[in-house]
Amino acid sequence: FQGRSGKDEQERRLLRLRSLQYLERYIYLILFNAYLHLEKKDSWQRPFSLWMREVAAVAGVYEVLDRLGFPELEGPEDEEPLRRLRGRWRAQSRGDAGGPCTSGDF
């Protein structure tokens, strides 16, 4: 029975990671939409990456992304909470989410 609960915990962590990754992607889509609308008047002379540094970062987007998630779903045993950008990136690079890009993902 203990093996089953370990598998359940691993599956819960995978689902939390996937949920946060999808939420993060959605936020980037919203940001890109804002970029397209705001930069249209200048014919998109400023690249999105520069816009992120000059506009979005100043607005605190990276702080929001670094605190993204549901801390009440993370236990104290989580060495690196998934709500932190670094925690999500490390989990993905370790393959906790089935690799960088799995079937059905972008």
Who has greater pLDDT, 57 or 8? 57
What confidence score (pLDDT) does residue 27 get? 96
Predicted TM-score (pTM) of this structure = 0.71
Confirm if 31 and 56 have CB atoms less than 8 A apart.
yes
Each residue's pLDDT tens digit, 50-104:
999 999 999 999 999 988 877 776 666 665 677 777 788 788 887 765 544 444 4
Who has greater pLDDT, 6 or 26? 26
Q: How far is CA 94 from the centre of its chain?
A: 15
Q: Does 37 have pLDDT greater than 70?
A: yes
Give the other-Cβ count within 10 Å of 79's Cβ. 7
Q: Which tokens sit at 28?
A: 């980037």
Mean per-residue pLDDT, 22-28:
95
11-to-4, 7, 22 alpha-carbon distances in Å? 10, 6, 16
What confidence score (pLDDT) does residue 29 get? 98
